[in-house]
């Protein structure tokens, strides 16, 4: 489901809803006021849905979303010539349609300034003129400057750190598009190893996207600042967070003692560099 005789379904539905608003809501009022209510209902409801979806506090987000929705309905119903039909039905449909359009048309698409290349073998295009290794993390680049420096010293490729937040998903996908390989970096300074598959996991969506775009063989996970980087800890992480093994080529554990010895850290991280260089 996406197009009807060449016309995109979501936009067609939005047009029908807009006309429904226009002819059923405040028909005796000015066009300006009517259009203002249509636009605010579409956008306001959409922000509510997105906020509810993105917020980690589900109950609080739901209460907030419900309160704002009720207030919006009350303002419309306050006018004598309004009815429950446009207020309840059209508000919900309009908000959902807008979120649908945004999700279909903009999710994961790179900006126009990103070069779109078509390869003869049908594989996804990558920017190959200046191969890049991306390091993606919610930590500041200062926390893994040692990793950045090592990769820069041991290869001729550009190393690009990227800070993941709850609001820069589009920029994240654009940056992934520009990379050939990626490292998902997580630090134990936050107190937990909550990468995927656990409560309050930090990188479920990001790791899935990295693997789908770059290929499992071009994605590695690095867990830093551990007290214990043994194989026992590694196995425990992979058992409790299976997405890591399914979506990434390997996971590397860096304990605090190891970081103090440059020769050991280089030996430990060197397989990442060798694997990435083979794939570039």
Looking at residue 253, its pLDDT comes to: 93
pLDDT confidence of residue 79: 55
In this predicted structure, what is the pLDDT of residue 251? Answer: 94
What digits encode the pLDDT tens for the residues 47-90? 655 555 555 455 665 666 666 666 666 656 655 555 555 566 66
Q: Could you tell me which residues come within 8 angstroms of residue 180 by beta carbon, excluding any fewer than 6 positions away? A: 126, 127, 128, 131, 132, 133, 157, 214, 218, 276, 279, 280
The DSSP bridge pattern shows strands 7-8 and 3-4 to be antiparallel
Residues of the chain with pLDDT under 70: 1-11, 13-14, 17-131, 277-280
In this predicted structure, what is the pLDDT of residue 143?
Answer: 92
Strands of 164-226 (E only): list them: 181-187, 219-226
pTM of the model: 0.57
Predicted confidence at residue 6, as pLDDT, reads 46
Q: What is the reported pLDDT for 60?
A: 60
Residue 260's pLDDT is: 82
Residue 40 makes CB contacts below 8 A (sequence gap 6+) with none
- The total of other beta-carbon atoms located within 10 Å of residue 44's CB is 17
- pLDDT for residue 54: 54
Quote the pLDDT of residue 93.
64
């Amino acid at each position: 489901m996406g197009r009807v005789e060449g016309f995109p379904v979501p936009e067609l539905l939005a047009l029908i809803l807009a006309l429904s608003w226009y002819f059923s809501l405040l028909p005796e009022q000015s066009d300006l006021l009517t259009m203002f209510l249509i636009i605010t209902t579409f956008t306001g409801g959409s922000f509510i849905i997105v906020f509810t979806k993105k917020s980690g506090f589900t109950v609080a987000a739901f209460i907030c979303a419900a309160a704002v929705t009720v207030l919006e309905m009350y303002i419309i119903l306050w006018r004598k010539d309004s009815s429950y039909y446009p207020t309840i039905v059209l508000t919900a449909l309009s908000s959902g349609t807008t979120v649908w359009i945004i999700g279909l048309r903009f999710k994961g698409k790179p900006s126009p300034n990103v070069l779109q290349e078509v390869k003869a073998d049908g594989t996804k295009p990558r920017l190959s003129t200046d191969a890049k290794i991306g390091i993606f993390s919610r930590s500041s680049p200062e926390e893994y400057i040692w990793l950045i420096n090592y990769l820069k010293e041991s290869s001729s490729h550009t190393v690009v750190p990227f800070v993941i937040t709850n609001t820069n998903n589009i920029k994240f996908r654009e940056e992934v598009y520009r990379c050939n390989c990626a490292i998902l970096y997580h630090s134990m300074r936050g107190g937990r190893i909550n990468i995927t598959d656990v409560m309050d996991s930090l990188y479920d969506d990001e790791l899935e996207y990295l693997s789908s775009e770059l290929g499992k063989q071009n994605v590695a996970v690095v867990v830093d600042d551990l007290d214990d980087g043994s194989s026992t800890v590694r196995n425990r992480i992979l058992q409790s967070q299976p997405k890591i093994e399914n979506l990434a080529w390997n996971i590397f554990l860096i304990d605090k003692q190891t970081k103090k010895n440059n020769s050991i850290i280089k030996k430990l991280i060197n397989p990442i560099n060798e694997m990435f260089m083979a794939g570039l």
